């Protein structure tokens, strides 16, 4: 059920939420962000405020720069050869491109969940315990156990795996693996969680479970999700940004973007005329 690929003549319905996140403090702020891959420019001056304790969705046609922009927020583009990032990005007012900043530390504060679940080839327990151990967050065996259990609980996975914590993470279903990856990201105490099409490899039931989880997690985290599914954006986010050909065309309350967009390009995309 690849909902995002269905051509529609009407915009998707937006989940009724009293909380539109407009009054939440800004956690991540970007100003005039540009990205080049070699000579090719992929992003053209993207400025956006990302609110705390809410879900912000990036939508737009394939290749418009959503993932590229998401990777700017925890400096994952640093790992791509030939990729250059310009402009300014702050987390709680601090420049995340400050050369003095410890990138490993930054990626603990701004965690990431990828399109394809990618557990380590280790046990379920070790997948979650690894991060806190290398970051020196947990000292004793009891500390580690507590973090593993609470992270698995927060990811809505503990009850399903409590009797097999020492079996390989790769033996879980796709949806469980993705929740394991979310637990792994949470185990190092992030403030922001970036999700790059986290449901695109999952069936509709596993997708619904992850969407419910995202909705719960927003009470405590700043979440940014890239999705090719407008229905998903409408269901899970409070703020939506529409990208087209490397430009941020429009950003606002999810409800406004889907019911009353200011730009014709947004209107055309959400009604299925482009993309
Ligand atoms: P989206 O996530 O919206 O599908 P991407 O951010 O993946 O878009 O891609 C934006 C543009 O940047 C595309 O033209 C794509 O081909 C290019 N691009 C993405 N990743 C790389 C890369 N590693 N090297 C070169 N070009 C890339």
Centre a 10 Å sphere on the Cβ of residue 239 and count the other Cβ atoms it contains: 26
CA distances from 172 to 10, 161, 165, 175 (A): 37, 9, 11, 8
pLDDT above 80 for 12: no
Query: What is the DSSP code (8-state) at residue 195?
Result: E
pTM of this structure:
0.93
Per-residue pLDDT tens over the stretch 59-91: 999 999 999 999 999 999 999 999 999 999 999
Closest CA to 129 of 150, 104, 109, 157: 150
Distance 2 CA to ligand 1 centre (A): 21
Per-residue pLDDT tens over the stretch 187-243: 999 999 999 999 999 999 999 999 999 999 999 999 999 999 999 999 999 999 999
pLDDT above 90 for 6: no
Mean of pLDDT values over 146-154: 97
* CA of 226, closest atom in ligand 1: 2
CATH 3.30.565.10, applies to 26-118+193-270? no
For 28-52, give the secondary structure using H, E and C.
EEEEEEEEEECCEEEEEEEEEEEEC
Q: Which residue has the tokens 């503990």?
A: 158
Distance 227 CA to ligand 1 centre (A): 15
Mean of pLDDT values over 21-32: 94
Counting residues of the chain whose pLDDT is more than 90, the rounded percentage is 88
Q: What is the residue extent of each domain of the chain? A: 26-118+193-270
Residue 68 Cβ inside 6 Å of ligand 1? The answer reads yes
**What average pLDDT does the chain have?**
93
Per-residue pLDDT tens over the stretch 228-274: 999 999 999 999 999 999 999 999 999 999 999 999 999 999 998 87
- Whose Cα sits closest to atom 27 in ligand 1? 37
pLDDT at 2: 42
């Amino acid at each position: 059920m690849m909902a995002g690929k269905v051509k529609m003549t009407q915009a998707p319905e937006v989940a009724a939420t009293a909380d539109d996140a407009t009054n939440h403090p800004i956690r991540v702020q970007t100003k005039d962000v540009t990205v080049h891959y070699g000579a090719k420019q992929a992003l053209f001056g993207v400025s956006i405020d990302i609110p705390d304790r809410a879900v912000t969705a990036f939508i737009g046609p394939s290749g418009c720069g959503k993932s590229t922009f998401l990777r700017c927020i925890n400096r994952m583009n640093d790992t791509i050869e030939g990729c250059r990032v310009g402009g300014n990005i702050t987390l709680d007012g601090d420049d995340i491109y400050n050369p003095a900043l410890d990138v490993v530390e930054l990626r603990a504060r701004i965690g990431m969940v990828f399109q394809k679940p990618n557990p380590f080839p280790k046990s379920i327990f070790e997948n979650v315990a690894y991060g806190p151990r290398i970051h020196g967050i947990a000292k004793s065996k009891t500390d580690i156990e507590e973090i593993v259990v609470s992270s698995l609980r927060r990811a809505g996975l503990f009850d399903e795996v409590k009797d097999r914590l020492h079996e390989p993470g790769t033996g879980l279903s796709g949806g469980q693996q993705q929740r394991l990856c979310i637990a792994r990201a949470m185990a190092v105490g992030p403030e922001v969680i970036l999700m790059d099409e986290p449901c695109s490899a999952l069936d509709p039931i596993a997708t619904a479970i992850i969407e419910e989880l995202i909705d719960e997690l927003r009470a405590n985290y700043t979440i940014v999700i890239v999705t090719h599914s407008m229905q998903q954006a409408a269901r899970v986010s409070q703020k939506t940004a529409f990208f087209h050909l490397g430009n941020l065309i429009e950003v606002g309350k999810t409800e406004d973007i889907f019911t009353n967009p200011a730009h014709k390009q947004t209107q055309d995309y959400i009604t299925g005329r482009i993309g």
